[in-house]
Structure 1
Amino acid sequence: MATPLRASDRAYQALRDDIVEWRLAPGTILGEVEQAARLGVSRTPLREALSRLMTDGLVASQSGRGLVVTDVSVDNIRELFDVRKALEVKAVRLAAEHHTGSTFADLEREFEAVPQLLARDDSDRSAYFDLVRRFDSAVDDAVANDYLTGALNSLRTHLVRVRRLAKDNPERLAAAAREHLLIVQAIVARDAELAAHATHVHLHHALTSALAMAADSPLRAAN
């Protein structure tokens, strides 16, 4: 039987999900009384949750306003992708060299079916984003390097916020799925060079799309 989550863990997960899903937009003030009541916890576990979110970089203290949800600026996006390229290219190389079992072959079939998935997925594209999450998890398992996967997971906390901006752009989601399919096929074939190249191409298009979306969103370029 699973151990029930502590109140602070529940508050942390709920707030984190609300932030990365854009239900709490950048600049939202996180008042203790309001959030504690909304989440059904006391102020002590809420403070613990907010402290963890500050460590994650999702919440920051702002003079005169208290704790607020952090911005995702154009400069943030560029910096995230600089690090993402270094980590993900290395990860897919290792995954191509070391993976076992049928996980990536199963993912290959799922990415091939994304056009049908997008046609029936809900407005939040939850099924599509779950598929991408499972791809990330499969790469992590194949890499079997706690330091690399730890760095990737820290980065993904912020990348998920950027990815969610594309949920209303089915053309980009379909293109991203085709790019993921090429990566998966290269991993299945144990072709590390092709996996790395396909990842470079995917990240180039993902960055270009993210910057274009930033121009039409509430994102603000850092000064």
Structure 2
Amino acid sequence: MDADPDTAPLRSADRVYGRVKAMAISYRLRPSERINEVGLARELGVSRTPLREALNRLAAEGFLEATVNRGYSVLPLDPKRVLTLYEYRAMLEIGAVRLAAERRTEAGLSELDRLAHQTQATIEQDAFLKLSADEAFHSHIVALADNAEMLRSIRSLNERMRFIRWIDLDKGGRINWMDEHVRLVNLLRVRDAEAAAALLRTHIDRRLDRITEMIRDGFAEIYTGNTLAARILGDTA
């Protein structure tokens, strides 16, 4: 009988890439930690060839850092890096929402409205479900801009920011951004680009006030269980 592809040892470079990427995103591989390729290959049950291919690819995509003569390390979890990600996200989404006000279709707007109400429905759910709904909503705003490069960028940002945004939702308590999602839909419906951009700017900037707190909570989570890694990888950190 053939092995179940979901439980068989990782063999292909793509499967190794996906696994290591999830480990980096969730900080299952700890911040600033130099990757022990021999140990990681043994843990994944693969040779170093597909692992090295995956590490090269992840470094090129900005998920790991490659250093001459030192191999690969996990990106740090520090205020400067988190700030640059939020600044980039703000510039990207604000530009996208202005384009979306001009280019949105009725079908696309209806889907955005559905996603807005879906985020409202997750308010009593765990942070992972809230984050998944929030990522879908913001990605769809960018999709309405009808710009493939913007959409590719926001998807990459969603992955690189997933851990810190999950911490924000998990530790930040009840927040009002879900109602703001509905307001954004209404502003796009009447094509008010400037008001939508201003609301989105406030929506994102509010997170900047919590960066230091989010990082502190993030380190505490990483070293005391890391629920996100367990949720994504199906194991314990």
Of the two structures, which has the highest relative contact order with CA contacts closer than 8 Å and spacing of 6 or more?
A: 1
CA distance in 2, matches of 1:145, 1:64: 39
| Secondary structure of the structure 1 residue equivalent to 2:65 | strand
- 1:114 paired residue number: 122
CA pair 26-72 structure 1, distance change in 2 beyond 3 A: same
Unmatched runs of 5 consecutive residues or more in structure 1: none
CA distance in 1, matches of 2:144, 2:133: 17
AA matched with 2:97: V
Instruction: Verify the 8 A CA contact 2:113 2:182 in the aligned structure 1.
Output: no
CA pair 127-62 structure 1, distance change in 2 beyond 3 A: same
Q: State the TM-score, normalizing by the size of structure 2.
A: 0.76
Instruction: Verify the 8 A CA contact 1:107 1:184 in the aligned structure 2.
Output: no
RMSD (Å) for aligned C-alpha atoms: 2.7
**Post-superposition offset of 1:212:** 3.0
- 2:153 paired residue number: 151
**Post-superposition offset of 1:64:** 7.7
CA pair 175-217 structure 1, distance change in 2 beyond 3 A: same
Q: Does 1:206 find its partner at 2:214? A: no
- 2:166 paired residue number: 164
CA distance in 2, matches of 1:12, 1:182: 39
CA distance in 1, matches of 2:217, 2:164: 13
Q: Does 1:140 find its partner at 2:167? A: no
- 1:191 paired residue number: 192
Alignment of 1:1-223 (within 5 A): 7-61=12-66, 66-100=71-105, 101=107, 102-115=110-123, 119-121=124-126, 125-171=127-173, 174-215=175-216, 217-218=218-219
Q: State the TM-score, normalizing by the size of structure 1.
A: 0.80
| Secondary structure of the structure 1 residue equivalent to 2:170 | coil
How many residues end up aligned between the 2 structures?
A: 209
Unmatched runs of 5 consecutive residues or more in structure 2: 1-5, 221-237
Instruction: Verify the 8 A CA contact 1:111 1:181 in the aligned structure 2.
Output: no
AA matched with 1:42: S
| Secondary structure of the structure 1 residue equivalent to 2:176 | helix
**Post-superposition offset of 1:144:** 1.4
CA distance in 1, matches of 2:113, 2:184: 12
AA matched with 1:200: R
CA pair 218-49 structure 1, distance change in 2 beyond 3 A: same
CA pair 36-181 structure 1, distance change in 2 beyond 3 A: farther
Q: 1:14-36 CA deviation, whole Å, 9 max, x = no partner?
A: 11112222322202332222222
CA distance in 2, matches of 1:211, 1:181: 29
Q: Which has the higher mean CA deviation after the structures are superposed, 125-134 or 142-151?
A: 142-151
Identity level (%) = 32
